[in-house]
Amino acid sequence: MLVHCTACQHGKNFADIPPDGIAACLEQPDGFVWVALRDAGGEELARMQEIFGLHDLAIEDANHGRQRPKIEEYDGGLFAVMRLVEEREAAEKEKADGKERELRFHAGEMHVFVGPRYIVSIQNNFRHDFSGVRARCEREAKSLALGPGYVLYALMDAVVDSYFPLVERLETAAEHMEERIFTHGGGLNTHSGIRRLYRLKRRAAVLKHAVMPLMEAAGHLRGGRAPGVCVKSRHYFRDVYDHLQRINSALDNVRDAVATAIQVKLALVAIDQTEISKRLAAWAGIFAVVTALAGIWGMNFAHMPELRWEYGYPAALVLIAGGGGALYWRFRKAGWL
């Protein structure tokens, strides 16, 4: 689906043009064309390839999708892949203390073809649009004069900015779980708590897989050997690289916090199991002594000691109760009960 097809001349604002007018605009000096597509199919990509002369390998990657974030150079132009991540289908589960919302991350893709006179951006499997990028470029006319490289920066910066709210949600969720892990009845007292920690770690990994490769690509665009279409805009890509470094560092902190929380939770489970084993062993020892004494007096021999004594039965009960009570006191003092 075509989102917009615009032309920029002499660094001025974009003007909408019909797709049939792209060839005429490309012949004019000091300008470029920006075509934005959503969920483009094979026919649309083939048409873009015919109009702009896009490389076959780049078109093949765009057709297949599910690419790792990267920057590849082809015949004076470049092909960029960025991972789009959004929160989708968040589930609400009823809890005793209210509702708890679980994060569910969904990953889409953005493919961008950039040349000296054109930029083609394709957004796939992602609900939110990037219409604000065009408005931003039109507001910054001096920067827009830098050409398609600046539009690539603006798109990349918008993608990176969309990561920040997700990172904040992850950090908040990790801090919330850390606070509740030592709270009795806080929702992390059973094995379900460990499963939730693992789900949080997987969501951090989804964002990590989008950020880390893109940071490498942005580092290439900001360097002294940047592609020709991005040379004039390489200082802007330095800002994107700095933002990605901050996000990457925050994700590392979240993953470390979750890993530590999992280890602490497993240690607490082991401690709880040890306490239960100690209680069971203590009660087993008490009942073993009581059972042994009751078994001795339960034997039906004719010449047992104290068998015909008037107070033999009460004395046996007192001895059994006293033995059990003494053991209970000893185990209680030792902290086993």
Whether 193 contacts 181, CB under 8 Å: yes
Residue 49, helix vs strand vs coil: helix
CA atoms 212, 217, 219, 222: torsion sign: negative
In 3D, which of 331, 231, 234 has the Cα closest to residue 289?
331
Helix axes 234-297, 163-180, angle to 10 degrees: 20
Could you tell me which residues are beta bridge partners of residue 102? Answer: 91
CB atoms within 10 A of CB 326: 12
Whether 106 contacts 127, CB under 8 Å: no
Question: Within the chain, where are the H helices?
Answer: 22-27, 42-52, 56-64, 131-139, 141-144, 148-161, 163-180, 191-222, 234-297, 312-334
Distances (CA, A) of 16 to 7, 20, 29, 122, 129: 6, 12, 18, 17, 18
**Chain segment 126-181, per-residue pLDDT in tens:** 888 888 888 888 888 788 888 898 999 999 999 999 999 999 999 988 888 877 77
Could you tell me which residues are beta bridge partners of residue 7? Answer: 15, 33
**Chain segment 198-207, per-residue pLDDT in tens:** 888 888 999 9
State the DSSP code for 228.
Answer: G
Instruction: For the chain, state the CA radius of gyration.
Output: 35
- Relative to beta strand 15-16, strand 77-87 is unpaired
Residues 6 or more apart whose CB falls under 8 angstroms from that of 57 comprise: 72, 74
Q: How confident is the model at residue 292 (pLDDT cuts 50, 70, 90)?
A: confident
- Gap between the Cα atoms of 165 and 142, Å rounded: 30
Least confident of 5-14, 150-159, 303-312: 303-312
Residue 93's identity, in one-letter code, is K
Residue whose structure tokens are 């797709």: 19
**Chain segment 14-54, per-residue pLDDT in tens:** 888 888 888 888 888 788 899 999 988 889 999 999 989 89
Helix axes 148-161, 131-139, angle to 10 degrees: 130
Q: Name all domains of the chain by residue range, CATH numbers in brackets.
A: 2-271 (3.30.460.20), 274-334 (1.20.58.340)
Residue whose structure tokens are 């920067």: 143
